[in-house]
Structure 1
Amino acid sequence: MSPLALPVHGLGELRSVLLRKDMLRVVREAFVRHAEGEVVAPRGGELLFQDPPGDCHIKFGHFRDGQVFVVKVAMGFYENAAKGLETNNGLMLVFDARTGATLAVLNDQGWLTSWRTAAAGALAAKAGAPSRVSALGIVGSGHQAEHQARWTAEMLGVERVFIWGRSSEKAARLAASLSHQGLIAQAVSSVEPLFERCNVVMTCTPSTSAIVPAAVVRPGTHIVALGADSLGKQELDPAILGRARVIMTDDRHQCAERGELAHALAAGLVETGVDVSLGQVLTGKVPGRFSDDDVTVADLTGLAAHDIAIASLAVESLRNAEW
């Protein structure tokens, strides 16, 4: 590579060097470092699109003792699947934190964001799960729903997965795909039977209104809400958070602005500061639940810390592969 060549690494190259266990490790470490104030990450940016519907998130930052800083651009355009296109796209830029030199362009087409989100969801599910998981529920039928089903089922050690999506056809296709991957997966007709069968439920849709009513949530249920990562998005009835014994957030201020927590605060159902840091739950400093009868919620809006961690891991893994 000449000194002037831009070091661009494509999706295939990244897939060949990154392992799931390493991604889980660094995403967990990033949760903890964020909770402990070891991340410099100014407020991210976002662009929202209406016609066709989509969004673009820009996150950036560095670890306080890190040698790199990262700028991540991630897009989601939700009508792309009907056009035969991928829903998600994006890339990450990695720079030397001492000189500003460009170290790598990770042209991952959104894959790194998808996998770090899957890792975050799985870790959050484990953090609040009851002692016995009856089955895993997935609200959603798209790209991230499949990742959450696979990663979280493995993390929890369960095989039974129930899926509900606003498109019954897509939910059925996802169930078939997961069944071919070794899970016992079934699509259901509404959220009610899903919550009847499942006490850990992942919500991963771009919904802009509550699609999970409080009445369906049974004692002992742990919900990981991933969809509300932009202003205006919502998946849960705010009353669910009002009932929750524990609310875990990836970032308190971010969730209070755009997560499920924001809707519960606006409705006056919870008070500011009611939530605990998921990073502190993962280290055991605070409990993720007190009893198997608790309703618990993890509200995830996405951390720059995860993008820094994944990008740093990618650069390190690529270098090791060259040796």
Structure 2
Amino acid sequence: MTTIPIISLDAIQNSMTRTDILHAVKGALIAHSDGKVISPPPGQLLFDNPKGDCHIKYGYLQGGDTYVVKVASGFYDNPKQGLPVNNGIMMVFSAQTGAPVCILDDRGWLTNVRTAAAGALAAQAGAPAQIRKLGIIGAGEQAELQALWSCELLNINTVDVFARSPSRVKAYAKRMKEHGIDVTISPNIPTLLQKCNLVITTTPANSALIQANDVQSGTHIVAIGADSPGKQELDAALFQRAAVIMVDDHEQCVHHGDYGYAVRAGLVPENSDTPLGAVLAGAKPGRLSDQDITITDLTGIAAEDLAVAGLAWNRCT
């Protein structure tokens, strides 16, 4: 039997740059919005003790040589044991024969960076003309990546952060300063929203953190944390105030994103969203005026996994 190549995390990381990943993820979001990606609803396993989740996403680009199946986990108590929250692998198969092509032993890194890229692109898509300060809610690995990638893409250098754990938020601020990012810490979310007109949420919260009445006109919010049933970061009423609602995938965001809470409550029509890919392609606006409140709801899509897995496969073989 032929041995299936296993590509190591080091090889994957050395094969691509941040610019490569941003370009690949942007193309994936556009292709997805154009209907060129075949991706059934994701599989999900949810765990209570310890708290965690596992996502199985899979799909292929029409006309592509390969398809990808990804298994990615997040166990939120892992840092107490000195372990990373995220882990996983991606499996690449031939779209002609179904034979396994390789296993990407990325340990969740590809998922992390494709999410960072999607968040940064979403931040750029709806950002006001003058960004006062970038606000980050959360203090984990994705909170760090979102700040780093968005600051670089938007050419800003100031971040305000809030997280529930004082020790974690202090450690976060220290890490960001080591990356050359100027960090301030807000005592609560309403204070952060007074200072920031671009906000990215990166938590596994199961109830709304951002209340509709606390958001100032002109603010763009990118919600990343609600990527499985039961999670929520945004007050459903906030969507009523939004001039533009962008989503990575309509069905996923209605089913288990923040947008779905507003739709199910009858606060906004189910067809009130715009594909993020269409905004990135220049076909739709991400903002109508500087006074608009705008929202991007990201649930993570297989198209992004296809893009980064294909990048790794092509560069490493």
Tell me the TM-score normalised to structure 1 length: 0.97
Give distance in 1, aligned partners of 2:62 and 2:208.
38
Amino acid at match of 1:170: R
Between the two proteins, the alignment pairs up a number of residues equal to 317
The aligned residue for residue 72 of structure 2 is: 74
Deviations 1:9-36 (A, max 9, x none): 1111111111110000010000000000
| Percent sequence identity over aligned pairs | 47
Give the gaps of 5 or more residues in structure 2: none
The aligned residue for residue 127 of structure 1 is: 125
Return the match for 1:205 from 178, 203, 206.
Answer: 203
Give distance in 1, aligned partners of 2:164 and 2:229.
21
The aligned residue for residue 309 of structure 2 is: 311
Deviations 1:197-253 (A, max 9, x none): 111000010000011111221000000000000000000111111110000001111
Return the match for 1:153 from 151, 156, 178.
Answer: 151
Give distance in 1, aligned partners of 2:213 and 2:38.
40
Contact map agreement 1:168 1:189 (CA 8 A) in 2: no
Give distance in 2, aligned partners of 1:123 and 1:30.
12
Amino acid at match of 1:315: W
Amino acid at match of 2:48: Q
Give distance in 2, aligned partners of 1:74 and 1:155.
26
Secondary structure of the residue aligned to 2:176 is helix
Query: 1:269 offset after TM fit, Å?
Result: 1.0
For residues 184-223 of structure 1, the aligned pairs below 5 Å read 184-223=182-221
Deviations 1:85-129 (A, max 9, x none): 110000000011111222110010000000000000000000000
Contact map agreement 1:172 1:186 (CA 8 A) in 2: no
Amino acid at match of 1:141: A
Question: RMSD value over aligned CA atoms?
Answer: 0.8
Query: 1:4 offset after TM fit, Å?
Result: 2.0
Amino acid at match of 1:135: K
Secondary structure of the residue aligned to 1:65 is coil
For residues 72-151 of structure 1, the aligned pairs below 5 Å read 72-151=70-149
Return the match for 2:47 from 42, 46, 49.
Answer: 49
Return the match for 1:232 from 230, 233, 239.
Answer: 230
Give the gaps of 5 or more residues in structure 1: none
Return the match for 2:263 from 250, 255, 265.
Answer: 265
Amino acid at match of 2:166: S
Secondary structure of the residue aligned to 2:237 is helix
Give distance in 2, aligned partners of 1:221 and 1:169.
28
Tell me the TM-score normalised to structure 2 length: 0.99
Secondary structure of the residue aligned to 1:132 is coil
Give distance in 1, aligned partners of 2:136 and 2:128.
17
Deviations 1:172-200 (A, max 9, x none): 11111101111101221111221111110
The aligned residue for residue 18 of structure 1 is: 16
Give distance in 1, aligned partners of 2:242 and 2:49.
36
The aligned residue for residue 170 of structure 2 is: 172
Amino acid at match of 2:154: L
Query: 1:278 offset after TM fit, Å?
Result: 0.5
The aligned residue for residue 283 of structure 1 is: 281
Secondary structure of the residue aligned to 2:112 is helix
Moved more, 163-172 or 291-300: 163-172
Give distance in 1, aligned partners of 2:194 and 2:98.
53
Give distance in 1, aligned partners of 2:233 and 2:16.
31
Deviations 1:134-188 (A, max 9, x none): 1110001001100001001111111000110111211111111101111101221
Give distance in 1, aligned partners of 2:165 and 2:158.
21
